Amino acid sequence: MSKESPDLRTFLDYVRRYEPTQIVTISDEVPLDYTATAMAFELERRGSSPILHFERITNHDLSLLANVCASRDLLAKSINTQTENFYETFGTSLDNLIPAEMVSGGSVQEVVWEGSDVDLNKLPIPRHFAQDAGPYITAGMLAARDPDTGVGNLAYIRLQVKGSRRMGASLHSRQHTWDYMRRAELKKKDLPVAIVIGAHPAVMLAGAAKMDIDQDEYDLAGALLNQPLPICKARTVDVNIPANAEIVIEGHLLAGTHEPEGPFGEYTGYVTGRSTENVLEVSAITMRGDAIYVDIIPGNSTEHLVLGRIAKEAWVYKRMKEVLPFFVDFHYPSSGTHYHCYVRIDKSAEGQAKQAAQLLVALDHYVKLVIVVDKDIDPVDQESVLWALATRMQADKDVSILKDTLCNQLDPSSENGLGAKMLIDATKSSSFSAEKISIPENAKRLAESLLD
């Protein structure tokens, strides 16, 4: 990727030049609501998840870009690595942050709407599912500053458009943004924020990452890009924003103000009304002169699941490698959304499988099912994992249940934020003596030549 001006357009130019099959441009005029969602899910059904660029949206001037983060391969290439090296590259970046570079301004402030000009309805913010309460900003990364330390934070939150300058917001992850708001409210102060829409994938990955509360995601974005990320001050709030973003919505999360938000189609594949019911009041909208509106396909789409997991997976992988010398790798199958994980170990002693499973659920409280397999089983190959489960596991000895543990509250089967974890040891026991069937290599080569 180019070293110059790391932004969304740099990435799109790269894809169009070197990965042209990974982007589809729709030049026909299309309705705003549901179109991107429907097309993304239909393409997934056919086995592909390209970037989608809708050039003409009915009754809107801006184009719409979706599925930017659906491909693990493209995300890896966006940070100058390959899929098989993504975890290592991301982990190295976590340990070698590059501070952002403050600049006086940027292309994101070429157009400024303030005062009576502010109107969210001018942006092509779509409805995604029939049950959604309204249009939702799904690719919005909320930039804020710790109300006590001033350290910056970037994180995704759910945003329902309720009027020209009012949005419902859910901070349901209960992570840094939620804690910022809690502490601001204790002081009876609103929380200044900026919603960043459309940035280089490195910034989008950083926004999804797990980091310490005293670390700034902009510095991780710089490490992923191997150069400082240019940032500038927002116009109406004391928040820093990527200077070359596409669109920024400035405003405040209101202290002590709550009103219904949702329902919305979440990553579980179910509709949920669970929300912290916060309210965001908009003070300004800034953008590039030819801004592209970016939409993340929500629900249990490939894009939503990949972006929601890939940065977290890299963090968990790094911790597993640090603690367990016998840990090989893992895979989160899409069928389990964020709740299932298959872990591969190079087993040398009894108890290692349970240790690996326990550490995994301690690091990632979303996970409710862990299956641990031997090094001869590829965790990406679900058929092989289930074969190991069928032939190497006995439920009375190899299944552990952890009751009443912290889980993700969007799990529709959970109760009051608590759920159970199932840890399954599908590795061979020390007394296991069965031998896998095998075919001689010369016979395999002959078969391949006959079929070619």
Mean of pLDDT values over 77-83: 96
Query: Per-residue pLDDT averaged across 60-80, rounded?
Result: 97
* pLDDT higher than 50, residue 3: no
Instruction: Indicate the average pLDDT of the chain.
Output: 95
Tokens representing residue 121 in the block: 């309805």
452, pLDDT greater than 90: no
Instruction: Name the phi and psi angles at 74, rounded to 5.
Output: -70, -40
| 3-state class (DSSP) for residue 195 | strand
Q: What three-state secondary structure class fits 296? A: coil
CA gap 56, 67 in Å, rounded = 17
Distance (Å, whole) CA 93 – CA 311? 11
Is the predicted pLDDT of residue 4 greater than 70, yes or no?
no
pLDDT of residue 2: 38
Q: Supply φ then ψ for residue 312, to 5 degrees.
A: -65, -40
Chain segment 199-220, per-residue pLDDT in tens: 999 999 999 998 999 999 999 9
| The CATH fold of domain 324-425 | UbiD C-terminal domain-like (3.40.1670)
In Å, how far are 83, 258, 259 from 382, measured between CA atoms? 19, 43, 43
Q: Tell me what the mean pLDDT of segment 29-48 comes to.
A: 96
pLDDT at 286: 98
For residue 317, pLDDT over 70 is answered with yes
- Whole-angstrom distance, CA of residue 452 vs CA of residue 450: 6
Domain ranges of the chain: 81-289, 324-425
pLDDT surpasses 80 at 29: yes
CB 218 within 8 A of CB 100: yes
Confidence of residue 175 (pLDDT cuts 50, 70, 90): confident
CATH number corresponding to 81-289 = 2.30.110.10
The residue-averaged pLDDT of 170-178 equals 85
Reported confidence tier of residue 1, pLDDT bands at 50, 70, 90: very low
Residues 227-240, mean pLDDT to the nearest whole number: 97
